[in-house]
Structure 1
């Protein structure tokens, strides 16, 4: 079981316009997003990457392009990490959607939300978590891999790793080009970082082979040699 870096794509033109881009083709990074993507190699320079998996959408592929070339890694395109299929909501302005009844469901009871002519958020979590588990099984326990995907997809994976019901996933914030980190073990996942936009990647480094999957009772020492979760009695 390996360490997973969940990278949200850098800022896109749609992010800056207030439009729900969804799976609309041709949505690339804006100037801010290109600068964010260009900084990824420096942010992750000390992290050994075994695999890069990417959503098929342009904004994700552009985000990891320079990083993948620098590492000599050919990104694996994974459809199950694609953006939510928002159906009829695709391409609409967010301000025009907030008054709809479904908007309240998305905010308060997302596990029941199904987008018209699209998919449900429960389906999104199911496909994304299944993809994570399948790719993770192909890697060794001392390896680190990266998935570049979309905000709601990443939030659904984090909710699963945290043991949260999908109805709580709106409490998680995932900004453009942020990094969230989950270390999977035989017994449970440990969430090491959420929505990190800084440069300290010490928590991303792989653990020693002998690391236990037990949680630390009383709280972690904070050292990079122990990735176990805190458990305060």
Structure 2
């Protein structure tokens, strides 16, 4: 099973430099809507069979053009929702940089719990469970490998990628997931494989070939083989979510 982890496009909170969290009514900007249309053009040629998204508006808006092109009805899963940042919700990032907890989020994410909100370890547990459950359900439903899209938020996607890479959650801030980027994970019975990371424009045609139903059992071949794609991540300039401020680029950060 192969999932395209899609972060929503640039939002009004991104441009305001606030931590949107689960605030209602946070929409895409004009640029974010253009990113959504571009994503639809990029992904529409792929054999995508399901689109699942966070229930928040910015994710709904991001997948809408793709769903229309593919003729699919998007589903939502509450487990893909943004981090509950509690008392940090809606605050300016510039203010949060002075909070003692900020350094904990950067260096010891597994121990970080937002005041009045949830911990990042909880976020990873629910998000990974959601992706794996949906993967399994789609496989059982179709009887073969399925390519599908999960649209969520930066910190949520980074936590899923950390699990796929087999790295500790404390290292998840080293992963960059820009607005409207895709990261691709193929789950096999033995291990997940990361095919794309923070991809904002490379050719995706190899993904179509990766999800051809396996041959008949008597053909002498197996269905799941390790991917051989060697494409690397595309360097990006936008840092998102609660990403590290230690690189001197805090003023460029796009929160969710």
TM over 0.5: yes
SS of residue in 1 equivalent to 2:101: helix
Provide the rounded CA distance (Å) in 2 between the counterparts of 1:69 and 1:167.
38
Structure 1 contact 7–149 (Cα < 8 Å) conserved: yes
What is the aligned partner in structure 2 of residue 115 from structure 1? 114
What is the aligned partner in structure 2 of residue 180 from structure 1? 183
- Which stretch has the larger CA shift, 189-198 or 207-216? 207-216
Provide the rounded CA distance (Å) in 1 between the counterparts of 2:19 and 2:103.
16
Change (3 A) 1:21 1:221: closer
Structure 1 contact 182–192 (Cα < 8 Å) conserved: yes
CA shift digits 1:59-100 (9 cap, x unpaired) = 000000111122111111100000000000000000000111
SS of residue in 1 equivalent to 2:10: coil
What is the aligned partner in structure 1 of residue 102 from structure 2? 103
Structure 1 contact 192–203 (Cα < 8 Å) conserved: no
Provide the rounded CA distance (Å) in 2 between the counterparts of 1:16 and 1:49.
31
Provide the rounded CA distance (Å) in 1 between the counterparts of 2:15 and 2:81.
20
What is the aligned partner in structure 2 of residue 196 from structure 1? 199
SS of residue in 1 equivalent to 2:148: strand
2:87 aligned with 1:85: no
1:38-187 equivalence runs, <5 A: 38-140=37-139, 141-187=144-190
Displacement of 1:222: 5.1
Structure 2 contact 195–229 (Cα < 8 Å) conserved: no
Provide the rounded CA distance (Å) in 2 between the counterparts of 1:147 and 1:221.
21
Displacement of 1:204: 2.1
CA shift digits 1:118-151 (9 cap, x unpaired) = 0000000000000011100012342100000000
Change (3 A) 1:167 1:222: closer
What is the aligned partner in structure 1 of residue 253 from structure 2? none
SS of residue in 2 equivalent to 1:176: coil
| C-alpha RMSD of the superposition | 1.6
Gaps of 5+ in 2: 215-220, 232-256
Change (3 A) 1:126 1:49: same
TM-score (norm 1): 0.90
Structure 2 contact 147–211 (Cα < 8 Å) conserved: no
Displacement of 1:215: 4.8
Gaps of 5+ in 1: 224-233
Provide the rounded CA distance (Å) in 2 between the counterparts of 1:214 and 1:80.
29
